[in-house]
Chain A
C-alpha cells in the first residue's frame, strides 16, 4: 500500500534541509597537525598524559591498521577517504581538565544549551519534574565536562571521560579495554584504537543499580576533523545501568568522519541498556557534506543471566555503517536490539545487529524498522548465529521497512546460522505492518481510516520507542513522527 499523505508530510518535516543542529561555533581550538602517523599518535597520547602501556596499545593498533584494507561489503558508496587529510585531534583551548562548570568556555556551554543538553546540575536539581541525567559532553576530541560525578561517586559508580579513567583507574581500563572489540577487529575499530581521543567510561560496581540515567552528548564542531570516541561500560555482577547517547554536527560541505567504538561488558546478572539517538548532519539535499558514521558497537554478555539491550534511533549521517551487537556468552544471557532507521535525501544506511549465541539457554530479540525516502538507501543487515554448544538458543527477528517515493531503496540482508539442533530461530520481514484485520476492526468501530492507521502505527512504533528512556523517547518521537504503514520487508 502506498504511503499516505500524512506520512509523506511528516517525513518532509525532518528533511535534511531542515537540520536544525547545523550551526557552527567559533572558538579557539588546539589541533594536531593534519594526517596520521606514529608521531600523531604519540602527540595524542602525550596530550592525554597517558601511561606508556596505552601508547603501546595505540601504536600496536596503528601498525595493524596499516595492514588492513577498507571494507567494501556494505551497501554504501562514497569517494575514497584520504585518511591523511583529517585532523585527528581538535580540542577547544583551555579545556585541560576544567574542575567545574564555571571553568568551561561559555561558548561551549552555549552550544549545549542550544542543543538542549542540560549541563548545569543546579538547574536540573531545581527542576522538580525533570528527572536527573548525568551528562558527559564530548566536544570534538575532548570531553569538556561530566556532570553529577560526585553524586554518582557516592553510589560507587564511576562515570568520567575515558582519558581520565586511563589515568585514574588504569587497572579497570587495562582489564576491559579492547576485550570486546579487540584492536584487530575491523578497519575502523582498529583505526579508532590507534587514535581515539575521548569518550566515556562507566563502571557500575557489584549489586549497584545506577541511581540516574547516564548520558554522553557528542558534538563535532571543527572542520576536517574526525571524531574517534571510545566508550567503555562495565556492569559488574548484579549491576544495572542505562546509558544514552546523542550526536550532532554543524552543516558543512565536506564530509567528516566519525569512527567510534563502544564496548559493553555485562557480568553475572548485570544489565546494560544502551540507547542512541543519532542525528549527525546528514548532508544537504544534493548529498553534499554530512558525517560518515562508521561505528563498531558491541556488548559482551559475559556473565550468567546478563542482559544487554541496544535501542537506536538513526536519523542523521550521510553514511551509517553500524551494527550494535551482542555476544551471548554467559548461560541464560539475553540480547536485544531495537532500531528505527530513517533515511532521507542522499543518506545511505547499512545498519543492523549481530546476535552471537555461545552460552546455553541464551535468547535474543531483534526489532528493526527502516524508513527510506528521497533518494536514500536503507539496508538492514543482521546476523544471528548459534554455535555448537549454544543449547536452546532462541531468536526472534522482525525487520520491516517502508519506502516513500520510487527513488529510494530498502534492503534486508539477514544472515541466519544455526549449528545446534536445539536452536530455535524465527526471522520475519513482513509487508504490510498494518494488518487488514486490525484496520477492519478499527473501521468497524467508526474510526476513520487515517485515524485508524495512525492509531495502529503508533502502537507499532512504540515497540521500539518504548524501549528508550523517557527523556529520549520524546525526542525520538519528535524526530520520527512517522507512520509506518505500507511497509515492505
Chain B
C-alpha cells in the first residue's frame, strides 16, 4: 500500500474522518494523546481503509464492504440488559460510555479509560500494531470511552466479570486495558449487543496482560444487530505459566471483523482459542488471529468451528509464528466448517511461520456439508430431517462450549445463545 499516494476517499472513509473532525474538541485527551489521534486519522485519510491487496485483509476488503458509517449520535441511548450468567458483576458500557459504579469484588480495581486519556497515560497504548492495523487506527483515533481493569495478584474471582457493551444507533469506540496479577483466576465475558435493529458502528480494543501463573477465561460474545458493523480486537501478552482460554462467539452483526493478536512472553505459557462463528443472512464475518510463540516451552491450541447459512460469508485467518529461540513450542490449529448453503462462502487461511527447529506445529482445515451417514443414521431412527440437521449442527459447535464444563452456568448460558441462534436461522 502506498501511503504517500492520495486516495479518493470513500463515503465510509469520509464519515470516519468527519467523525473525528466534528468531535475533535470533545474527544478526551490532549498533548500526546491528541498527537497520536492526529497521526492515526491522518493515516486513515491518506491510506484509506485496507483493501484485498493488503494481505491481512485479503478476504475482507474493508474499503469495499464498509459502504457507510452512521454518524456519531450523542443523543442515542441504550438500556443495560441482564447479565448473561446470573451472579456476574456487570461493568456496563452503553453506547461507548462506561460507568464506574456499584460494588466490585475484592481485588478488582476499575477506573474509567477516559481518565487515562485525559492524563495522557493512554497515549502509548494507542499505537497501532502495524500498517495493516485498521481497527487499531480507527479505534485509536476515535476512542472516547472504556475501562481500565486491574485484578490484584492472587485474586480468585468466583463469578464472572461481564463487560457489557450495549449499543443503539450511532458509533462507539472503546478500549479496555486489563491486567491480571500473578496467580489470578478469573472469568471475563466481553459481550457486545445492540438493543435495536438500526445500524450502528462499533470498534473495541481489549488489551490484556496476564502475569505469572494467572489463569483466565475470556469470552467474547458478539451478538450485535443484523445491520451493525463490529470491529473488535483483543491483544494479549502471557507471562510465565500463564493460561488464557479465549472463547470467541460470533452470532450477529452485518460486517464483523474480530482480531486476536497475542504473544507468549514467559515460558510455560498456554493459550487456547475456541471460536464459534454462527453465520447467516447476508453477513460477512472475519476472525483473524496471530500468535507469536516468542519464548521456548509454550503451547497453544486453536479450534474454530464455522456454521455458514444463507448468503453469509465467513473468513478465518490464523497465523502461528514461532520465533527463532522458541524451541519446544507445541502449537496446533484447526478450522472446521459446515457450509450449509450453496450461496454461502467460506475462506480459510491457516498459516504457520516457523523459525525454530525443535517444535511441534500443525494445522488442519476442513470444509464440508453435514455428514450424510450421520444424517441417514438419525433419519433411520425416525427423527425428522430438519430436526436431525439441527441436532448435528448444534453438536458440531456445542462440543467446543463443553470444554468449559467446570463452569456450568457459563456453559448453560452459551448453549442457550447457540440454540436460540440456530432456532432462528437453521
Contact = CB atoms under 8 A, between A and B. Distances in A.
A427 B318 CA distance: 14
A488 B320 CA distance: 12
A420 B360 contact: no
A432 interface: yes
Contacts of A432: 360
Contacts of B344: 419, 421
A431 interface: yes
Nearest to B2: A69
Interface string B341-368: 1111111111111111111111111111
A480 to B, nearest CB: 18
B153 interface: no
B355 A489 contact: no
A409 B355 contact: yes
Contact of B349 (A3, A414, A486): A414
Contact of A403 (B350, B351, B354): B354
Contact of A417 (B325, B347, B364): B347
A23 interface: no
A424 B367 contact: yes
Given A2-B357, A388-B342, A413-B351, A428 B368 contact: no
Contacts of A431: 359-362
A388 B341 CA distance: 10
Interface in A408-448: 408-432
A128 interface: no
Interface in B348-407: 348-369
A418 B357 contact: no
Interface in A61-108: 73
Given A416-B349, A417-B347, A425 B367 contact: yes
A489 to B, nearest CB: 5
Contacts of B417: none
B209 interface: no
B324 A489 contact: no
Nearest to A404: B357
Nearest to A378: B354
B337 interface: yes
Interface string B122-135: 00000000000000
A486 B356 CA distance: 12
A76 to B, nearest CB: 14
B55 interface: yes
A422 B369 CA distance: 6
A282 B373 CA distance: 51
A421 to B, nearest CB: 4
A342 to B, nearest CB: 15
B341 A421 contact: yes
A459 interface: no
A418 B339 contact: yes
B349 A413 contact: yes
A117 B413 CA distance: 71
A419 B345 contact: yes
Interface in A430-489: 430-432, 486, 488-489
Contact of A488 (B342, B349, B360, B364): B360
Nearest to B319: A413
Given A1-B358, A489-B361, A429 B352 contact: yes
Contacts of A409: 353-355
A488 B352 contact: yes
B340 interface: yes
B349 A421 contact: no
B367 A406 contact: no
A425 B350 CA distance: 13
Contacts of A418: 337, 339, 345-347, 367
Contact of B355 (A406, A419, A429): A406
B424 to A, nearest CB: 20
A426 B366 contact: yes
Contact of B346 (A410, A411, A417): A417
B339 A412 contact: no
Given A413-B351, A417-B347, A425-B366, A406 B356 contact: yes
Nearest to A402: B357
Contact of B357 (A388, A406, A430): A406
Contact of A416 (B58, B340, B356, B365): B365
A182 interface: no
B350 A414 contact: yes
Contacts of A207: none
Interface string B53-80: 0010010000000000000000000000
Given A406-B324, A421-B339, A423-B339, A416 B360 contact: no
A410 B356 CA distance: 9
A197 B328 CA distance: 50
Which of B324, B344, B352, B356 has the largest count of A CB atoms less than 10 A from its CB?
A: B352
B258 to A, nearest CB: 19
B306 to A, nearest CB: 10
Contacts of B352: 410-412, 429, 488-489
Contacts of B366: 424-427
Given A2-B357, A410-B354, A488-B359, A427 B342 contact: no
A35 interface: no
Contacts of A51: none
Contact of B362 (A388, A405, A420, A428): A428
A112 B388 CA distance: 67
Contacts of A430: 362, 364
Given A411-B351, A412-B352, A418-B337, A3 B367 contact: no
Given A3-B357, A73-B55, A425 B368 contact: yes
A388 B342 CA distance: 7
Interface in B307-352: 324-325, 327, 337, 339-352
A412 B363 CA distance: 9
Contacts of B354: 401, 403, 409-411, 488-489
A279 B324 CA distance: 28
A426 B366 CA distance: 4
A425 B365 contact: yes
Contacts of A411: 351-354
Contact of A427 (B355, B361, B365): B365
A413 B343 CA distance: 26
Contacts of B340: 421
A407 to B, nearest CB: 8
A414 B365 contact: yes
Q: Top 7 closest A-B pairs, CB basis?
A: A403-B357, A427-B365, A425-B367, A416-B348, A431-B360, A418-B367, A412-B352
5 contacts: A388-B342, A408-B357, A412-B350, A427-B350, A489-B361
Interface of A: 1-3, 73, 388, 401, 403-432, 486, 488-489
Given A3-B357, A423-B339, 15 more contacts: A388-B343, A406-B327, A412-B350, A414-B348, A418-B337, A420-B342, A421-B339, A421-B340, A425-B366, A428-B365, A431-B359, A431-B362, A432-B360, A486-B357, A489-B354
